[in-house]
């Protein structure tokens, strides 16, 4: 299976990207091809709502999204990776997701698999409620098949994350994929 990992953390050595690395290792060991898309450091501009794409692309903006479009549409799975910022995904990942406007129908037809990896400093049981709701809405709207979530409670620093069980959970999620 071909998997694209959509990283949305501005901190390339942060906790959420650490989970992505463990996921990637597990998935590759299981025989999958994994490619990272670093949305946080790419040249991606916000959707302007111009509808020039006709909701099926190409977009009038000439930025990295054109390259990412092909990678996403040739993938069998997308993994959304984000630190929890004010109880939602990072703005960097949200910009990429908003640009799905120009490929919604293609994603919906493919029935791509998906997963969510996220980390947060907070350990309260409600910490990820809003992010989970957003992710589940994307799964429903884009006709994705959810393969699981790893939600790293109490992972405010890479050291905290490394000493938690969440990297292993991310590895196992990647490794068990069929």
CATH assignment at residue 101: 3.40.50.360
Residue indicated by tokens 């692309």:
57
Whether the Cβ atoms of residue 96 and residue 68 lie closer than 8 Å to each other: yes
The mean predicted confidence, pLDDT, of the chain is: 96
pLDDT of residue 175: 98
176 falls in which pLDDT band (50, 70, 90)? very high
- What's the confidence (pLDDT) of residue 127? 97
63-82 residue pLDDT tens? 999 999 999 999 999 999 99
**CA 154, 156, 158 angle in degrees (round to 5)?**
110
CA angle in degrees (0–180, nearest 5) for 22-23-25: 65
Which of 96, 31, 24 lies closest to 59, judged by CA? 96
pLDDT at 48 over 90: yes
The pLDDT tens digits of the residues spanning 90-146 come to 999 999 999 999 999 999 999 999 999 999 999 999 999 999 999 999 999 999 999
Both tokens of 11, joined, read 């901190």
As for how many domains the chain has, the answer is 1
Task: Say whether pLDDT at 55 is over 90.
Answer: no
Residue positions counted in the chain: 178
The beta strand positions in 19-152, using DSSP E, are: 33-38, 77-83, 113-119, 145-152
Evaluate whether 175 touches 29 at the Cβ level (below 8 Å). yes
Percent over 70 (pLDDT), the chain:
100
Structure tokens at 45: 């501009």
């Amino acid at each position: 299976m071909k998997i694209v990992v959509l990283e949305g953390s501005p901190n390339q050595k942060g906790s959420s990207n650490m989970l992505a690395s463990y996921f990637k290792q597990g998935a590759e060991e299981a025989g999958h091809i994994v490619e990272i898309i670093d949305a946080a450091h790419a040249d991606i501009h916000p959707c302007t709502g111009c509808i020039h794409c006709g909701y099926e692309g190409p977009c009038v903006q000439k930025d990295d999204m054109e390259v990412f479009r092909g990678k996403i549409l040739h993938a069998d799975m997308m993994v959304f990776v984000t630190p929890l910022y004010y109880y939602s995904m990072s703005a960097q990942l949200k910009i990429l997701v908003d640009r799905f406007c120009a490929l919604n129908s293609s994603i919906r037809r493919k029935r791509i698999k998906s997963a969510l990896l996220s980390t947060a400093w907070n350990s309260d049981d409600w910490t990820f409620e809003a992010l989970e709701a957003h992710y589940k809405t994307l799964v429903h709207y884009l006709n994705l098949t959810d393969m699981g979530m790893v939600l790293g409670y109490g992972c405010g620093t890479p050291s905290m994350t490394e000493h938690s069980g969440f990297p292993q959970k991310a590895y196992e999620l990647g490794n068990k994929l069929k």
